[in-house]
Amino acid sequence: MNNRRNVSDADFDQSPSDLDATEHATDAADSETVGTDHAVDPGGVIPAAVDSGPEPVRAAAPRHGLRRKVLLVAAAATIGVLAIGGGTAAAMAKHVTITVDGEQREITTLAGSVSGALSSAGLTTSEHDVLAPAADVQISDGGQIALERARLLSLTINGQQREVWTTADTVDQALVELGQDPAAFELSADRSREIPLDGLAVTANALRSVSLSVAGAAAAPLQTGAGTVAELLVDQGITLAAADTVDPALTTPVTDGLPITVTRIAVSTVTETVPLPVTDQQIDDPSLDKGTTVVAVAGTAGAQQVVSQVTTTNGVETARQEVSRTTITESIPNQVHVGSKSTLDVQGSRVFFHDTEFGVNWDGLAYCESTNNPHAVYNPSGYPSTYGLFQFDLPTWASVGGSGNPGDATPEEQLVRAKLLYQSRGLEPWLCGYAASGPPAG
């Protein structure tokens, strides 16, 4: 409120007593303005604005000294009031340390209580926060205030959900405050993760010890909070192919000591090129001795494309099924000339080979055994009958690959079988073995 008015030249026509009254009225008006402008704010904030002083007046020259006196008196009164108000505010100010969730800040306040100091610092509290001292406690200069702000933790333990308010800074600390061992759980959030002021949802599953073998590898021990085998495989980043198997089944609950085996089974289609064998095309050649063969023209192998379905178990082939076979190139057979010229020296019923292979006089041996008669039969009393040029009994003939009666075989086959017997037993089977060392007969 400002009661000042502009002063005109007419004012100077007043009597001295009137002038004194005017000065007193001006001083009173100035005092009211200061009191109003400098009243202390109820919220405890020190006022920063003051009255700028009396409005400027226009003074006539004859009264200049008197007007300046009036202004100086009014200004002095205003400064005095300001000095008194400022000193009172400074005396009421308090320096307070506020610690919020472990972080300190220093403030200066005119508030008298904890709640007022918090308000001065721009802080609010909720019903779940921890505040010390209490909000209505009076504070003094150098006071300490601690505020721990509560956070809502939505905690699901082994499928059971609960919501708790906590002043813990981290998930680990919150679990400890709730009487739980963080190391005994598999958590959906890192144990060291801070809980934000707007809350956090955490899932905790009790850890169980199991063993896991994948693709034939040795079983490895591990701890898991998974509820089923399927959840465990997901946690371990193991993806199953269509043919893979798991023992026990995916829906099996996880229990301590449970062995889990993942078998990798893959079915693939394999295309291969395989050679076709070269066959012999036999051509009779009367210019070659009987029993002689000669490859006149060598053949070439053909090729086939074979498509197979291959099953592997843990990387090892366990089954193969042919799907198709296609000939790419036909084989060209060997042209084999087979000699038909007889090498036998036939003299009536007697046959001579003129053969001394292995250093054996085969004609001499046959002469002693059968007089060179390929159809000779000998039936000794009490002994097995013997047949042919070299007098084979039936068991001995069969032991060297012969079939039927040796006497019915060609002379050439009888000689071949005799040589086979010699290679395995020497001359021991023949009573006439001594005759094999003589000169050829005939």
Chunked into runs of 10 residues, the chain (442 residues) has average pLDDT values of 35 36 36 31 32 37 38 41 50 89 91 91 89 92 92 85 89 86 82 87 89 96 93 95 95 95 96 96 89 91 97 96 96 93 86 92 95 95 94 96 95 94 95 81 49
Together in a domain, 382 and 419: yes
State which of 282, 308, 339 marks the end of a domain: 339
Using a cut of 0.75, tell me whether the model's pTM lies above it.
no
- The pLDDT of residue 10: 35
400 domain-assigned: yes
Taken in order 292, 295, 301, 302, is the CA torsion positive or negative? Answer: negative
Together in a domain, 190 and 273: no
- The pLDDT of residue 87: 53
- The pLDDT of residue 69: 37
Together in a domain, 193 and 225: no
Together in a domain, 77 and 34: yes
What CATH number is given to the structural domain containing 186? Answer: 3.10.20
Together in a domain, 232 and 277: no
- The pLDDT of residue 29: 34
- The pLDDT of residue 401: 95
Do residues 317 and 270 touch, judged by C-beta distance below 8 A? no
Together in a domain, 88 and 98: no
Q: What one-character DSSP code corresponds to residue 116?
A: H
Do residues 286 and 340 touch, judged by C-beta distance below 8 A? yes
- The pLDDT of residue 17: 36
What CATH number is given to the structural domain containing 392? Answer: 1.10.530.10
332 domain-assigned: yes
Note the Cα 85 to chain centre separation in Å: 73
CA distance to 40, 88, 119, 299, 363, per residue, from 292 (Å): 138, 140, 122, 19, 20
Together in a domain, 24 and 86: yes
Q: How far apart are CA 62 and CA 434, in angstroms?
A: 183
Which residue range(s) make up the domain with 144? Answer: 94-148
- The pLDDT of residue 48: 31
Rg (CA), the chain: 62
* CA neighbor of 430 nearest in space, from 381, 357, 378, 352: 378
111 domain-assigned: yes
The total number of structural domains in the chain stands at: 6
Return left, alpha or beta for 314; rule: phi > 0 is left, psi -120 to 50 is alpha, else beta.
left
Together in a domain, 226 and 201: no
Query: How close are the terminal C-alpha atoms of the chain, in Å?
Result: 169
